[in-house]
Amino acid sequence: MAQQLTAYLGPEGSFTYAAALHWAERSDLIPARTVADIVAGVAAGDWSQGVVAIENNVEGYVVPSLDELIAAHDVVAVDQHAVEVVFDAFVRPGTSKWHEVSAHPHGLAQCQDFVTRRGLSSVPATSNAAACRDLTDDTVALGPRVCGDLYGLETLEQSVQDFAGARTRFLRVIRRDGAREALSSAVSGQQWNTMLAVTPTVTGPGVLARITVAFGERGVNMSSLITRPLKALQGRYVFVITCDGAPWEAPMRSLLAELLAAGDSVKTIGVFPASEDLDALVDPQRIPAGSVADTSSDEELQRGLLW
């Protein structure tokens, strides 16, 4: 039997590497240079599956991954896994003067307090592990703790991320023609999430309302909705929707039929077992500053919402 290879955003030691170990043995992992390379390699059959970061609960969706999955013809996600994100700051042994800091753009964004406090200039890297691997004498690298041992680095500071509890969600992607078999082994009673790309072919007032009403009328919970521009088309967008349920379940089948009947273009980006339940309540400290949750007068309402 041929070896089942799993591609991940390398090099070894990245957060994607940690996620890939959830689905494959270390000996079966293949580092890739970019997310585009992962998706293209899976589509071509160069490797049996790939692992891509899709969303961070501090910085939001990982746009390059999202765009690649939207554009992919023959690749679909069939599982998800979350990895806790903790950044350490590394330097080369024996160095003492640093002018720059390097990490993946999402890593830099999650460690802004450290970057500002140290007065460093940010230099984006293709991955956090690559920043550690390619570290120079005048640069600080931000990455997973394992990178210190992997690349012989000295730890300058531990846990330099701005928010405790940060997590990144990863998707396991395979060729679309293998999805039915991959999902058939799910346990009885499994709860599902589906990720859709819905592109209205006719736009105008009420298009988004029509789509969201269709979800509500069929009792399909929409947990996330974002927009991505259609490439090189001004003012035209694809709606990327994550919802509860699977395409083979009756409410979702009815929903998809209505969207198609309305002329929308619909693509399933992924179907995967649902993650753990969300907290029932949102911590008030996480709500955007200046939000109005309750008002006792019209004056307060105007001040809070209308400037």
Domains detected in the chain: 1-85+165-184 (3.40.190.10), 88-157 (3.40.190.10), 186-307 (3.30.70.260)
Q: What is the largest CA-CA distance in the chain?
A: 72
SS3 sequence, 171-187?
Answer: EEEEEHHHHHHHHCCCC
Is the per-residue pLDDT at 299 higher than 70? no
- Which two tokens mark 40? 């293209």
pLDDT band at 71, cuts 50/70/90? very high
Question: Could you give the percent of the chain with pLDDT greater than 90?
Answer: 71
Is 245 exposed, middle or buried, given 0-12, 13-18 or 19+ CB atoms closer than 10 A?
Answer: buried
Taking phi over 0 as left and psi of -120 to 50 as alpha, with beta for the rest, 165 belongs to: left
Give the bridge partners for 187, in sequence order.
none
Q: Stretch 109-128: mean pLDDT, rounded?
A: 95
Write out pLDDT tens, residues 251-261.
999 999 999 99
Is the per-residue pLDDT at 243 higher than 60? yes
Is the per-residue pLDDT at 268 higher than 60? yes
pTM score of the predicted model:
0.82
Hey, how many other C-beta atoms are within 10 angstroms of the C-beta on 145?
Answer: 15
Write out pLDDT tens, residues 179-220.
999 988 776 678 999 999 999 987 778 889 999 999 999 999
In sign, the C-alpha dihedral spanning 175, 177, 179, 184 is negative
